[in-house]
Structure 1
Amino acid sequence: MNTRNDTRRGPLEGIRVLDLTVALSGPYCTLLLAGLGAEVIKIESPTGGDIARFNPPFYGKDGIHLGRMEEGDLSLSNLARQRNKRSLSLDLKSDKGRAMFHDLARHADVIVENMSDGTVDRLGVDYETIRKINPGIVYCSITGLGRPSPYPGVKAMDITVQALSGVMDVTGETDGPPMRFGLPISDLLAPLYGTIGIQAALRQREATGEGQNIVISMLDCVASLLPFEHFDVFQREGFPPRSGNHQTRLAPFGIFKTRDGYVSIAAANDKWAGLIFEAMGQPDLIKDPRYATRGPRAVNADAVNRLIEDWTSGHSTDEVLEELQAKRGVPCVRVRTALETMSDPSLFASGALQKLVHPEAGEIDAVGSGVPIRMSAGKVGLDRPAARLGADNADIYGQLLGLTADDLARLRAEGII
């Protein structure tokens, strides 16, 4: 969704965010804040910046490719994650750079960081230091395992967080190994909670005048979802932790093979189960005590799933959809490929997906996520391409810190910016 001509005010307009994030979890949080209208100022080392700038694939003068071929090639990861953000280069390891950041913090509402444990303390940009400069600062740390970490020495990557969270134990086939969730779920879930926490802290600041420190743990975020399925209770009752492409306790509820693809069926109640049996030409199955109600169907889930897949696998996906969804109203849809979904015009119209825009070349053949929040009175969206490293140095340092062109030239010569 193009928001360039949208004259509505962004919900977070007037909020200034200093972005000290790298990789995915932190930058996704600040991307959401930017999409909601906050002024996000991305601060990176002048010698290279965010590690995402070096993630393949890249876009350059020869289009999209996997290996960085020219100095000017830009990572698609960076083009996706730095939209609507302004860019500063600043060496926080230097005394001058640290002092400049402290000056910037006086003009900020929010700081977001996801550096490794101890880094912000070593750099002198930690919460306790900053709140002495700006008591109203809302300071959000997105961590892997909490701070301090209860797992000393463990490197918090998405796959290690997934392993510790228990989500792998409930993902995969019943008799198969634990399985990684197909998306970097901990990297994507933590920034959602971070965004919620930041907005709640800003609301509280309106009442108290005081900022606060928010600590988000990727592990906490993912693990907090497990109880919603009561896995502990079901395992005590003999249900296996993993049920593959089916949810045993809701059978028939899962993914079923067709002659030319797969369908997803969610027939958790007795009415829908009976309608499936009717479509199969076996309406009397709903009278069978093994399949008549939800409890027995859960116990006999493997049997009922085999019966249904014996039927679906003999028909095309379109035929199954016609019999179940169109004729009988049973929840049933085609299982789309990722490429099919990322080509859906309705998702581009809603703003959930959008074409990436290169700062010089314009729209390119790659898709980025949008901000899937629609508001009647607020402008939400990502309509400015990622900036090149340091693109806003003159503007921001001039406006906020009063630095002149000569000042900036000296700082560049010293490697500070």
Structure 2
Amino acid sequence: MTNRPLEGIRVLDLTVALAGPYCTLLLAGLGAEVIKIEAPQGGDIARFNPPFYGKDGIHLGALEEGDVSLSILARARAKKSLSLDLKSAEGLRLFKELAKQSDIVVENLSDGTVERLGVDYDSLKGVNPRLIYCSITGMGRPSPYPGLKVMDIVVQALSGVMDTTGDKDGPPTRFGLPIADLLAPLYGVIGIQAALRQREATGQGQHVMTSMLDCLSSLLPFEHFDVFQRMGFPARSGNHQTRLAPFGIFRTSDGHVSIAAANDKWAGLIFEAMGQPQLIEDPRYATRGPRAVNADALNGMIEAWTRNLTTEQVIHALATSRGVPCVKVRTAREAMADPALRESGAIVPLVHPEAGEIDAVGSGIPIRMSGSTVGLDRPAPTLGANNAEVLGLLGLGADEIENLKSQGVI
């Protein structure tokens, strides 16, 4: 039995920025050998993202010699870096030789780029029919919005997700994380895993395609926003989920709590804790449907109670004493410092390739398996750090590699 589930699988990584690199980060964490192909002239654009870590610690200043972007330290862990000019004939030839020995190619380059470079799926499947080729795009190919530059905030706006986020009388609101950039690669990994499984039966690879817009928009129907809007409910309900009231974020005297009392029993226990048990007999609040219709008034009564208590007192009254789901709303820094999340590996320290562990954290691989291990146990490489190792797979010696370097191919 292999130690990691994807050991023996080789991935050629043609990704930049976030969506594609997160896909290959997950594959690396599952044990695949990921070879990150970067232009010799500078590499992934994420290498230029502040903040940087260098001799002056973590800073937001201009990139200086020796500095490394925290973006790369987070997104290129457990990968190998090959600097290779795919615009050159020799660089393209070497890439195709590597493709013959690889299982997967992942790309998220702008529309038309892989075709211009000659590394698109149609060009590579003749080189290696078993190759699984994953494209993560912003809008799909061809894009329904030709010429539109895709960023996460653009996808959020077009997906309809912004319409569901924010106060009902306020503007549409951006989700706090680059959710489209992070969701599409998850679907990409699912598609790749399925294609690997099918290849076992057919012996053939295939083209796996997913887009940020498709992935994010596909989640909207789970809340039936169209139906609820026809019934008069706003898409945006702020910090509350109206149809499940009482279900949301409530202010306390020293912070906020999250209360999720989606059934009649829990609602009755909240009324009991408030000293108003008779509310469970009130037809406006007795069952879920009427509570949804009267959610504003209900939430107002509950917050009038919670605002006079500390967070700890509300949690004691609801969660500890009555079993109603209620927790403190933590800050991001509090969550990232949670020893349980560190212990599980969901959040891990970032490591500089030379300086070692630094004062920043990265995402781990939040998967546990009983028969194998997962994880990102190698720091991100510097640009071209693995040139000799990777090109050695093709039988190239030191003199040949030095000649490629002098020609600017690597």
TM range, smaller chain: over 0.9
1:63 matched residue in structure 2: 57
Structure 1 position 16 matched with structure 2 position 6? no
- TM-superposed CA distance for 1:193, in Å, is 0.2
One-letter amino acid of the structure 1 residue matched with residue 47 of structure 2: R
- TM-superposed CA distance for 1:8, in Å, is 6.2
- TM-superposed CA distance for 1:69, in Å, is 4.8
* Native 8 Å contact 2:246 2:299 kept in 1: yes
* Matched residue SS, 2:371: coil
1:172 matched residue in structure 2: 166
One-letter amino acid of the structure 2 residue matched with residue 318 of structure 1: E
- TM-superposed CA distance for 1:344, in Å, is 0.4
Quote the Cα distance in structure 1 between the aligned partners of 2:89 and 2:114: 14
Identical aligned residues as a percent? 74
Matched pairs, number: 410
2:240 matched residue in structure 1: 246
2:395 matched residue in structure 1: 402
- TM-superposed CA distance for 1:70, in Å, is 2.5
One-letter amino acid of the structure 1 residue matched with residue 405 of structure 2: R
- TM-superposed CA distance for 1:155, in Å, is 1.5
1:133 matched residue in structure 2: 127
* Matched residue SS, 1:388: coil
2:37 matched residue in structure 1: 43
1:74 matched residue in structure 2: 68
Quote the Cα distance in structure 2 between the aligned partners of 1:142 and 1:8: 29
Question: Which is further off, 62-71 or 131-140?
Answer: 62-71
Which aligned pairs between 1:156-171 and structure 2 lie closer than 5 A?
156-171=150-165
Offset from partner CA, 1:60-109 (integer Å, 9 cap, x none): 12211111453110001100000000110000011111111111100000
* Native 8 Å contact 1:26 1:142 kept in 2: yes
One-letter amino acid of the structure 2 residue matched with residue 240 of structure 1: P
* Native 8 Å contact 2:6 2:30 kept in 1: yes
* Matched residue SS, 1:47: coil
Structure 1 position 234 matched with structure 2 position 224? no
Quote the Cα distance in structure 2 between the aligned partners of 1:199 and 1:253: 36
Which aligned pairs between 1:226-375 and structure 2 lie closer than 5 A?
226-375=220-369
Structure 1 position 202 matched with structure 2 position 177? no
Quote the Cα distance in structure 1 between the aligned partners of 2:406 and 2:150: 37
* Matched residue SS, 2:236: coil
Describe the shift of the 1:350–1:8 C-alpha distance in structure 2 as closer, same or farther (beyond 3 A).
farther
Quote the Cα distance in structure 2 between the aligned partners of 1:87 and 1:125: 18
Quote the Cα distance in structure 2 between the aligned partners of 1:85 and 1:241: 42
* Matched residue SS, 1:295: helix
TM-score, structure 2 normalization? 0.99
Quote the Cα distance in structure 1 between the aligned partners of 2:311 and 2:76: 40
Describe the shift of the 1:358–1:224 C-alpha distance in structure 2 as closer, same or farther (beyond 3 A).
same
Quote the Cα distance in structure 2 between the aligned partners of 1:50 and 1:305: 48
Question: Which is further off, 98-107 or 64-73?
Answer: 64-73
Structure 1 position 392 matched with structure 2 position 398? no
Quote the Cα distance in structure 2 between the aligned partners of 1:379 and 1:39: 15
Quote the Cα distance in structure 1 between the aligned partners of 2:370 and 2:257: 35
Structure 1 gap ranges (5+): 1-6
1:378 matched residue in structure 2: 372
2:219 matched residue in structure 1: 225
One-letter amino acid of the structure 1 residue matched with residue 9 of structure 2: I
Question: Which of 159, 175, 182 lines up with 1:181 in the alignment?
Answer: 175
* Matched residue SS, 1:401: coil
Offset from partner CA, 1:263-311 (integer Å, 9 cap, x none): 0000011110010010001110111111111010000000000000000
Q: Give the RMSD, CA atoms, in angstroms.
A: 0.9
* Matched residue SS, 1:140: strand
Quote the Cα distance in structure 2 between the aligned partners of 1:99 and 1:160: 36
One-letter amino acid of the structure 1 residue matched with residue 54 of structure 2: G
Q: After the TM superposition, which segments of 4 or more aligned residues of structure 1 sit over 6 Å from their partners?
A: none
Quote the Cα distance in structure 1 between the aligned partners of 2:321 and 2:270: 11
Quote the Cα distance in structure 1 between the aligned partners of 2:2 and 2:314: 45
- TM-superposed CA distance for 1:198, in Å, is 0.4
Structure 2 gap ranges (5+): none
One-letter amino acid of the structure 2 residue matched with residue 193 of structure 1: Y
* Matched residue SS, 1:254: strand
Quote the Cα distance in structure 2 between the aligned partners of 1:328 and 1:392: 58
Question: Which of 141, 144, 159 lines up with 1:150 in the alignment?
Answer: 144
Quote the Cα distance in structure 2 between the aligned partners of 1:54 and 1:313: 45
One-letter amino acid of the structure 2 residue matched with residue 19 of structure 1: D
Question: Which is further off, 140-149 or 67-76?
Answer: 67-76
One-letter amino acid of the structure 2 residue matched with residue 401 of structure 1: L
Question: Which of 186, 190, 203 lines up with 1:192 in the alignment?
Answer: 186
Quote the Cα distance in structure 1 between the aligned partners of 2:357 and 2:152: 30
* Native 8 Å contact 1:8 1:379 kept in 2: no
